[in-house]
């Protein structure tokens, strides 16, 4: 389980770069020179990157809500499956972004070749090679029963899951702060500027909540792993997911509205992102927990 979470952190680190590009890129001076199809592709790519992040973070929230931080075969399978699925929108977003930036400088044909080429390369490296090299299906070793997961392991997993969410929140916060110094931000409609400030505050709150477990562990509990600390840390991580989702959706709307010069497609993209985040981070875990209790 620890290995699966560490691998998810690796994917998050790569995803946050593209996610930040979508927000920051919309406020660069050259963005307004893009063709309408390129700006629409930028919005679509931003949405795909949001879905990728939602898929990568979802298992950590399921682990808290459904399994109570215990090691189970179910959460290990979910973590593996969601990470594999997240690579698909990641690859598409990478290709789209390469098409946009290379096409802007060297022409649409060159951009299309680069975008399609790297999308195909990512698919081959992340799916094709693995399937070709995978041997015969082997019976997996069952994870330990829930009652046998010691508190030290559960606390370690909880802190690792905080580190899964934190990089994305920190990167988003940095880009949110930066865009406020751009001239393009001053040209936004008052409503969009207000939404950005609200999203900035949401992300700041998420960062504070995600860093709090480490502070509690050191200051209050003296580094000791206890059930009280595990419950407190789990609650802080779950609470941080709400403002983090608000920060993501809010600035997704602002970036798309800035690029498309229309609130209608921005609201549609933001609504799709909100639906994906709510389904993966809240609705599905709560349904699974209710089913388990029954």
Secondary structure percentages of the chain, helix, strand, coil, to 5: 85, 0, 15
Q: What is the pLDDT of residue 186?
A: 87
Q: What is the pLDDT of residue 243?
A: 95
Give the closest residue to 201 by CA, choosing from 171, 173, 182, 166.
Answer: 173
Q: What is the mean pLDDT of each run of 10 residues along the chain (294 residues)?
A: 83 82 87 90 93 92 88 89 92 94 93 95 88 66 60 89 84 88 88 94 95 92 90 94 94 91 91 94 90 82
Give the predicted TM-score (pTM) of the model.
0.87
CA distance 53 to 286: 19
Q: Residues 168, 57: contact at Cβ < 8 Å?
A: yes
The DSSP secondary-structure symbol of 66 reads T
Domain ranges of the chain: 2-293
> Residue 234: exposed, middle, or buried by beta-carbon count in 10 A (0-12, 13-18, 19+)?
buried
Sign of CA dihedral 269, 271, 273, 279: negative
């Amino acid at each position: 389980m620890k290995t699966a979470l560490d691998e998810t952190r690796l994917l998050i680190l790569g995803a946050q770069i593209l996610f930040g590009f979508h927000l920051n890129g919309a406020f660069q001076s050259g963005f307004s020179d893009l063709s309408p199809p390129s700006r629409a592709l930028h919005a679509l790519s931003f949405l795909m990157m949001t879905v990728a992040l939602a898929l990568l973070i979802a298992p950590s929230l399921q682990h808290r809500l459904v399994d109570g931080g215990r090691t189970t075969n179910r959460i290990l399978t979910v973590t593996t499956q969601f990470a594999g699925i997240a690579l698909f929108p990641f690859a598409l977003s990478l290709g789209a972004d390469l098409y946009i930036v290379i096409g802007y400088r060297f022409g649409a044909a060159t951009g299309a070749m680069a975008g399609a080429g790297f999308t195909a390369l990512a698919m081959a490296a992340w799916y094709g090679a693995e399937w070709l090299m995978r041997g015969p299906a082997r019976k997996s070793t069952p994870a330990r029963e829930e009652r046998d997961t010691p508190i030290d392991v559960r606390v370690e997993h909880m802190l690792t899951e905080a580190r899964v969410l934190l990089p994305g929140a920190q990167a988003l916060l940095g880009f949110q702060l930066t865009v406020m110094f751009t001239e393009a931000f001053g040209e936004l409609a008052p409503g969009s500027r207000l939404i950005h400030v609200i999203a900035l505050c949401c992300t700041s709150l998420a960062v504070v909540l995600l860093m709090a477990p480490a502070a509690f562990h050191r200051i209050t509990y003296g580094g000791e792993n206890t059930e009280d600390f595990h419950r407190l840390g789990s609650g802080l991580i779950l609470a941080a997911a709400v403002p983090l989702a608000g920060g993501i959706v809010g600035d997704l709307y602002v970036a798309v509205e800035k690029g498309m010069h229309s609130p209608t497609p921005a609201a549609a993209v933001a609504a799709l992102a909100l639906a994906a985040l709510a389904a993966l981070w809240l609705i599905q875990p709560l349904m699974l927990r209710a089913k388990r209790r029954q």
